Structure 1
Amino acid sequence: MDLLERETVLQDLTGHLQDAVSGPGRLALVRGEAGIGKTAVVNRLTQLAGPQIRVLVGACDPLATPRPLGPLVDLAPRLGQAVRTALTGALSGACRPDEVFDCLLADLSSYPSLLVVEDVHWADEATMDLLRYLARRLPSVPVLLVVTYRDDEIGRTHDVTALLGTLAGYPWVYRHDLAPLSRRAVARLAAGHVVDAEHLYQVSAGNPFIVTEILAAPGESVPATVREAVAGRLAGLSAAAREVVDVLSVLGRRASLPLLAGMLPSCEEALDEAVAGGIVRTDGQTAEFRHELTRLAVLESVPAACRLRVHRQALAALRSGPVAADDLTLLADHAEGAGDAAAVLEFAPAAAARAAALGAHREAAAQYARALRYADHLPAARQSSLLEGHSQACLLSGRLDEGVASRRHAVTLRRALGDRLREGENLRWLSWWLWPDGRAVEARRTGLDAVRVLEELGPSPELARAYLNLCQLACYGHEAVTVTDAYAAKAIALGERFGDAGVVVQARFHAAAARMLTEDSGWTDCEQAVTLAMARDLPEDAALMALNMCWFTALKRDTAGTTVAVNRAEAYCLDRDLLSYLLCTRAWGSWGLLARGLWTEAADAAQNVLSHPGSPPVVRALALTVLALVRARRGKGQVWPLLKRAANLVDSDCLLDTGLGWEARVEAAWLAGDHERVRTQAQHGLDALAGRTHPWLSGPLACWIRRAGGTPPQVPAAGPCALELAGDWAGAAAEWDRLGCPYQAALVRLSGDAPALHEALAAFEALGARPAVARTRAVMRARGVRPVRRGPRAATRANPYGLTLREMDVLKLLHEGLSDAEIAARLYITPKTAGHHVGAVLAKLGVHSRQDAARKLHHSER
């Protein structure tokens, strides 16, 4: 398994090793905080060392009385007799330590070696002297000396600090800092786990140890291993330093030093001790924990009375002067910790509103939820306002159930108050979010209720948005273009009257989208609307339209368009913390990968969506359908349970609205050889489409009826489906090829002549579509067409190592020194798939490291 985001340092270290064993020797300092992966890096380095290199590994231990020359004792069995004898003498007092040093240097001079000394922050004085001795003489021996230490545990007076000062002038000393993992790397580790990758990144700060421990214990707020590791560090602190750490844990991850000093006068020395212990760090203005999970582990052990006291002191101190906007979240935290309900209701809503304005929707949802815990005795109008804010923040941050529940409660309160305007607005919002919740029928009914309430009050901005909502639902439900246009016209008229640019641009977009999906026009208008919304900084409107372009291009099987749309929408939603839209975008991205024949990547992308706890029901249904189709096409089991789970998540209208759901059920039946079920399921889908116009939904279902030996009804059909239903299999196959859908093209060629059948068989074999291969061979036998045994593709045969074109792409990127994640981004595949390709390349080249593979490419190109 590759170490994430450690390729560069490993490449540097292997380069040092190659240079050192041929002389002169080198020293590499590998440093980073606890849990950052220093041991993992040096372990991988020892595995990459060639058989001609002697590997010597020793470590220092966190003992109250360190072992004299402990690392040398560890590696002595691999050294010569002279060194072992001198070491025994030195430990017994029979000879001086410098005699051991001389013997070791002579031993190292005789054989190329990799010498690793780990955790020198725990080293004894004799080991520090040994390192000084060796470092000065390294140019004369064929050795790479690797020294690891925790840079968060050495202060100004630590022995390691003194050692570093000695090494500063040596040009053969190299320093390598191990940085925390990026968001992308943490998300990759989180793939397959039901966890919010962004939250995981925030609490871990990218520390690999903390990340893996959280994933190993998903039900624990603080994993036991992390708790024990923190307790071990705290045990070494003085009582004063422990008090500082306890107070800081209550104050939050970051606290101002003046606030801390006000609560704990003369705490400077104790704070310095806590910093030296690696628990906290300071920049001279603030003190903060290195990781949020560390703070939580400390907080668990702070007595309740102490927490209450600190919260009250902090609240009083922060309220004593002007309240800065940046302090609103802290004030709300301390207000709740102090049990001051009035202060919570003063500061939490303000903190929520500020977070929402900054696009931090998860923070906004948390602050609104905090206020609602104390809102039972508030007037109904104020409760409603809090519920509305909470609902919106939840919906935008992927907490759909909570958001819908708050919006329903707000509707009830506004109705009881007789506030018809706010009742109608809340009904409109409820309708809008019921659709991704999988309740298309209720969404439309509630949307009509919203319009009815608001129309009674006359023209208003709220009515403009209500008309827009019905325009959107009509588009998504594939209703007649005239219906979408009618609602769009009403929305545009009111949007222009009240100056709501978002309403106008969205109404025009959805009217154009309805034409694009039914009449194959309107694409340019849709693109212009997205561009305009982004340019005018209408984030939610732009994000919605951008993800809809992913959906619509996927429905039209436009794989190139889907790729472009997904990349754009994903980047936009990530920048603005629009989680619900982001997850929907990624679900449609998995459909695009499926259509392109990249089934492993599609399954990985779908599984990542399913693993996120914030994925709405519609999104989960889409991802489950992708997984089901991948399994069905590969001839694996558990297909129908996945399709049933997808169908149970949403109502039948929503399953149909999103498209592809019914078609997936039909295809699964065909792959299983159940033609009767194919015809029945396809007809059920067409019956449900009655009264709607969507040729990209009805056309494929009619084609499946034809492929199963039935007589397809006359229905609207688009593109290659229309050609196939007209009997033009060659034209249909060519059109599928143009769209970038190799599997669909091969299916159509089953109706063709002998060359077409051979082409279909080759395509299915290349895709790993075992059931389709079997079906193709059966068709060939029935028609008397002899299958041709095909070997590797021509490009693969021509490659001296048997690499495919994709594997050659990967090898070239390895030569650039890219990580799996970087390769994945460059080739538009998942990191997991990139890892599979890297493994295949190494195996075919007969090498054991990425660096060796890159060198092999370099030599072959010379």
Structure 2
Amino acid sequence: MDVLEREAVLQDLAGHLQAAVSGPGRLALVRGEAGIGKTTVVRQLAQLADPRIRVLVGACDPLATPRPLGPLMDLAPRLGPTVRTGLTGALAGTCRSDEVFDCLLADLSAGPSLLVVEDVHWADEATMDLLRHLARRLPSVPALVVATYRDDEVGRTHPLTALLGTLAGYQWVYRHDLAPLSRPAVARLATGHSIDVEQLYHVSAGNPFIVTEILAAPTETIPATVREAVAGRLAGLSAAARTVVDVLAVLGHRVSPQLLAGVLPAPEEALEEAVACGIVRTDGQETEFRHELTRLAVLEAVPAACCLRVHRQVLEVMRSGPVTADDLALLADHSEAAGDPAAVLEYAPAAAARAATTGAHREAAAQYARALRYADRLPLDRQTSLLEGHARACLLSSRLDEGVESLRAAVRLRGAAGDPLREGENLRRLSYSLWPSGRTAESRQTALDAVRVLEGLGPNRELPRAYLNLCRLACYEHEAVALTAAHAEKAIALGEGFGDAGVVVQARFHAAAARMLSEGCGWEDCEQAVSSAMAQDLPVDAGTCALVLCWFAALQRDVDRTTAAVRRAEAHCLDHDLLFHLLCTRACGSWGLLNRGAWTQAADAAQEVLSHPDAPPVARALALTVLGLVRARQGRAQVWPLLEQAASLVDTDCLMATGLGWEARVEAAWLADDPERVRAEAVRGLDALAGRAHPWLSGPLACWIRRAGGTPPQVPAAEPHALELAGDWAGAAARWDALGCPYDAALARLSGDGPALHQALAAFEALDARPAVARTRAVMRTRGVRPIRRGPRAATRANPYGLTNRELDVLKLLNEDLSDAEIAARLYITPKTAGHHVGAVLNKLGVHTRHEAARKLHDSDRR
């Protein structure tokens, strides 16, 4: 197909290639709806490339369970021996995926390259990790990486969305959209065809694929849909060619001549006819449909009996020769489609294990689930092993409900088989999965059951993990520090004896975290534990500690620590494919953004968590609460439904979610000027916290009772809350300023004198906290503080984004790419104050980065 109306994109990509091969490297994302011409563009780019540039093209397949690292396997013959050896090792489980990624980087560093990865919307998790790995390190590589994907299939819940979010912060990543063709372009394509161009343009909406498909069947009536267009083209084929097309549609992936010949005798002539028709294409090695939509349209018309027969033939052909690790996923797919349970049980578990070794945990969970559908044919011991493997993959891929059910079944089977060691281990793992599911009461009881079973067997390797689980729960539930420490000591003593470094580092971390929460000391010990876990290559243990540190930093309202902790945890989770940990980390990150005053960013981050189909209940509850608080502070509707939904997801004593939830409910009632509900909600929260060391949870509730005119109870309170409760509003506000929390500082100043009230009002106005502005003005009127400035100044009203003069100054300095410290020096303010102004600017502009803010300034200047 002609590259009509794609010249600008091609020119941009050629420019990227020229710049990238001389360094630094770049990544170009080419996106558009299905059939828009992405493949045509990248192939044209490859043809235009200088002969000295190595061109590497790989693609992702639309398999129900994608091939782990499928594009890299496509590229392997063109790569160096080190990459091929590493890839073989990764697929066999003898080396880590990141080692293969580093080998690929080294290979790309050897000379200028163009690397194309097509159809990333079908990528497996390991391939997405490869792209993350490459993207972060591209500036040091003389290569242009081009990735194509269908943006009409990538919604908020699509796995690719997370990858795109990761790439958003890289300046060397460029995005190119392919738009539908204009009417003149469609008319040009239709030149020489007896066809109504207006009807063609109307039916195709300018989609190049649909236009091409329709024009390929010129003798047929113009169809209303792609399905009819494809049916018209197929009608002209011989019976033999139609059979080839049907078989290719059933196979559903690139097909080698040997495999096709194994299913159909002497297919060459019929295949040539199909290729000449344009329905499929071949590169000499493999045959495939020109577009997946075409294949689906064909497959829909293939009789079920024919599909079953082809799957059985393919299965027989593939099993007749040597089976490689690369074949396992396809064999599992065809086994189930062929209705062969024995073959499913032969290949699906192996495919699952292979997927797990490459970091494709969702694929591993899907393959285990496939095997479990037929597991009643297996001995109980093998059934139980499949359940345990499925549960492991489900936890790492954040499919908690499925994992919990598999663990429950595994516990029953191990108990019935008289295997208390594995029964106890499964109970411990069940408790571990129940807690993030929001079922804290059951998690606690199951943890005790695990310890009871394992202690009855004498010292064993599983027991220290069970003690560690009790230590974690005591820490998360804010039990007494001594109780957490006691569990930690038992875990450490046994863990050291059995050489379980993960148990030791986690136990030390959680003991320090408990001290930090109740006594205010221990942060450095927590940091050291996280670093130790990472240094010892304990990815899951390090991920757990890094996540918990994000939670506690956000709980303590320390903006700088939260930002640093979230950045580190997120990078670690992305590098090690820890989806559950990643989603919880991002939920904590949204809380940190809320504390910083970046409410638009906080809401976006929370919504990103909520849009993921596998977000665990604790993360969803936390994100819903953040979203509700943002709406409440901005004076928007539908606050309480969000808070009620958050509360319904988890047990009352799940403090990771409900700790902020109680405070949010109280604040929402205060902003609505409902003092009775303020006191009722605060008392409810304090009652649930009774008997626990909870200064960062009980302190704010007591402060809200005080702000609503009530008498606060004597409860543990962290420093800024304790200062406010003691009447030292200035000290509390100063502490909040030091922590980087402008909204909390303004709340503390509501108890102050006239200047403090004016300062609070200015802060609330800068944050666009309309209900708080109204409450502040009411307080000023009650105390006779005058004058009350009525809304923003004229200059602020004149600005389309409501920026103050000082915020406009900050925005102009952002355009110079200055840091907070540099902005502070220019404006003679403190770096903390500069940071607050930057957050307010980003919030008002509705952007996420300084560069986006600078672009808005340029757009405004052009207008």
- Unpaired runs of 5+ residues, structure 1, are 1-5, 16-29, 42-150, 153-176, 212-223, 814-822, 848-862
1:270-290 CA-to-partner distances (Å, cap 9, x unmatched) read 657767877666565444567
Which amino acid in 1 is paired with 2:612? H
Matching of residue 770 in structure 1 with residue 790 in structure 2: no
* Alignment correspondent of 2:91: none
* Alignment correspondent of 1:788: 789
Gap change, CA 1:284 and 1:742, over 3 Å in 2: farther
Gap change, CA 1:505 and 1:344, over 3 Å in 2: same
Gap change, CA 1:244 and 1:767, over 3 Å in 2: farther
Distance in structure 1 (CA, Å) of the matches to 2:291 and 2:810: 40
Q: Is the 8 A contact 1:259 1:317 kept in 2?
A: yes
* Alignment correspondent of 2:514: 514
Gap change, CA 1:209 and 1:499, over 3 Å in 2: farther
Gap change, CA 1:453 and 1:34, over 3 Å in 2: closer
* Alignment correspondent of 2:263: 263
Kindly report which structure 2 residues correspond to 1:426-505, keeping only aligned pairs within 5 A, or say none: 426-505=426-505
Matching of residue 229 in structure 1 with residue 219 in structure 2: no
* Alignment correspondent of 1:532: 532
The one of 782, 804, 811 aligned to 2:808: 804
Gap change, CA 1:275 and 1:495, over 3 Å in 2: farther
* Alignment correspondent of 1:171: none
Distance in structure 2 (CA, Å) of the matches to 1:712 and 1:747: 16
Distance in structure 2 (CA, Å) of the matches to 1:11 and 1:775: 57
Post-superposition offset of 1:302? 2.5
Post-superposition offset of 1:603? 1.2
Distance in structure 2 (CA, Å) of the matches to 1:353 and 1:586: 28
* Alignment correspondent of 1:110: none
Which amino acid in 2 is paired with 1:804? L
* Alignment correspondent of 1:732: 732
Post-superposition offset of 1:833? 5.5
* Alignment correspondent of 2:310: 310
Matching of residue 701 in structure 1 with residue 708 in structure 2: no
Post-superposition offset of 1:367? 0.6
Post-superposition offset of 1:8? 8.8
Post-superposition offset of 1:843? 6.0
Distance in structure 2 (CA, Å) of the matches to 1:553 and 1:732: 18
Post-superposition offset of 1:624? 1.0
Q: Is the 8 A contact 2:31 2:149 kept in 1?
A: no
Post-superposition offset of 1:445? 0.5
Gap change, CA 1:33 and 1:451, over 3 Å in 2: closer
Kindly report which structure 2 residues correspond to 1:126-141, keeping only aligned pairs within 5 A, or say none: none
Matching of residue 190 in structure 1 with residue 158 in structure 2: no
Q: Secondary structure at the match of 1:461?
A: coil
1:530-556 CA-to-partner distances (Å, cap 9, x unmatched) read 222223332222222222121111101
1:643-672 CA-to-partner distances (Å, cap 9, x unmatched) read 111111111001566521111111111111
Post-superposition offset of 1:498? 1.7
* Alignment correspondent of 2:610: 610
1:310-342 CA-to-partner distances (Å, cap 9, x unmatched) read 212221222223321121111111111221111
* Alignment correspondent of 2:76: none
Distance in structure 1 (CA, Å) of the matches to 2:354 and 2:842: 39
* Alignment correspondent of 2:199: none
* Alignment correspondent of 2:678: 678
Which amino acid in 2 is paired with 1:775? R
Gap change, CA 1:656 and 1:547, over 3 Å in 2: closer
Gap change, CA 1:586 and 1:601, over 3 Å in 2: same
Post-superposition offset of 1:595? 0.9
Distance in structure 1 (CA, Å) of the matches to 2:359 and 2:574: 11
Q: Is the 8 A contact 1:476 1:657 kept in 2?
A: no
Gap change, CA 1:199 and 1:707, over 3 Å in 2: closer
Post-superposition offset of 1:687? 2.1
Kindly report which structure 2 residues correspond to 1:503-582, keeping only aligned pairs within 5 A, or say none: 503-582=503-582
Distance in structure 2 (CA, Å) of the matches to 1:322 and 1:594: 57
Which amino acid in 2 is paired with 1:516? M
Post-superposition offset of 1:33? 9.3
Q: Secondary structure at the match of 1:190?
A: coil
Distance in structure 2 (CA, Å) of the matches to 1:782 and 1:259: 85
Post-superposition offset of 1:779? 0.9
Post-superposition offset of 1:35? 3.5
* Alignment correspondent of 1:396: 396
Q: Is the 8 A contact 1:36 1:208 kept in 2?
A: no
Q: Is the 8 A contact 1:796 1:805 kept in 2?
A: no
Post-superposition offset of 1:432? 0.7
Larger Rg: 1
1:190-214 CA-to-partner distances (Å, cap 9, x unmatched) read 23xx55556999xxxx998999xxx
Distance in structure 2 (CA, Å) of the matches to 1:662 and 1:284: 65
Q: Is the 8 A contact 1:590 1:606 kept in 2?
A: yes
Q: Is the 8 A contact 2:155 2:161 kept in 1?
A: no
Distance in structure 2 (CA, Å) of the matches to 1:524 and 1:800: 39
Distance in structure 2 (CA, Å) of the matches to 1:564 and 1:350: 40
Which amino acid in 1 is paired with 2:531? T
Gap change, CA 1:302 and 1:499, over 3 Å in 2: farther
- Once the two structures are overlaid, the 10-residue window that deviates more, 564-573 or 737-746, is 564-573
Post-superposition offset of 1:746? 0.6
1:118-169 CA-to-partner distances (Å, cap 9, x unmatched) read xxxxxxxxxxxxxxxxxxxxxxxxxxxxxxxxx99xxxxxxxxxxxxxxxxx
* Alignment correspondent of 1:625: 625
Distance in structure 2 (CA, Å) of the matches to 1:375 and 1:525: 46
Q: Secondary structure at the match of 2:407?
A: helix
> Percent identity between the aligned chains?
68
Gap change, CA 1:602 and 1:200, over 3 Å in 2: closer
* Alignment correspondent of 1:711: 711
Which amino acid in 1 is paired with 2:525? D
Distance in structure 1 (CA, Å) of the matches to 2:778 and 2:843: 35
Gap change, CA 1:732 and 1:800, over 3 Å in 2: closer
Distance in structure 1 (CA, Å) of the matches to 2:517 and 2:726: 21
Distance in structure 1 (CA, Å) of the matches to 2:608 and 2:31: 33
Give the number of aligned pairs. 664
Gap change, CA 1:621 and 1:509, over 3 Å in 2: same
Post-superposition offset of 1:300? 3.2
Distance in structure 1 (CA, Å) of the matches to 2:276 and 2:803: 56
Q: Is the 8 A contact 1:601 1:829 kept in 2?
A: no
Matching of residue 844 in structure 1 with residue 844 in structure 2: no
Post-superposition offset of 1:244? 3.9
Q: Is the 8 A contact 1:234 1:242 kept in 2?
A: no
- Unpaired runs of 5+ residues, structure 2, are 1-5, 16-29, 42-117, 120-143, 165-174, 181-209, 214-223, 818-837
Q: Is the 8 A contact 1:32 1:178 kept in 2?
A: no
Q: Is the 8 A contact 2:397 2:579 kept in 1?
A: yes
Q: Is the 8 A contact 1:666 1:704 kept in 2?
A: yes
Kindly report which structure 2 residues correspond to 1:239-318, keeping only aligned pairs within 5 A, or say none: 239=238, 242-264=242-264, 267=267, 284-288=284-288, 295-318=295-318
TM-score (norm 1): 0.69
Q: Is the 8 A contact 2:702 2:713 kept in 1?
A: yes
What is the RMSD computed on CA atoms of the aligned residues?
4.2
1:482-522 CA-to-partner distances (Å, cap 9, x unmatched) read 11111111111222222222111111111111112222222
1:748-789 CA-to-partner distances (Å, cap 9, x unmatched) read 111111111111101111111111001100111111111135
Distance in structure 2 (CA, Å) of the matches to 1:317 and 1:552: 56
Distance in structure 1 (CA, Å) of the matches to 2:803 and 2:618: 45
Gap change, CA 1:742 and 1:401, over 3 Å in 2: same
Post-superposition offset of 1:838? 7.9
Post-superposition offset of 1:429? 1.0
Gap change, CA 1:265 and 1:443, over 3 Å in 2: same
Q: Is the 8 A contact 2:723 2:729 kept in 1?
A: yes
Which amino acid in 2 is paired with 1:358? T
Q: Is the 8 A contact 1:478 1:657 kept in 2?
A: no
Distance in structure 1 (CA, Å) of the matches to 2:804 and 2:706: 45
Kindly report which structure 2 residues correspond to 1:628-667, keeping only aligned pairs within 5 A, or say none: 628-655=628-655, 659-667=659-667
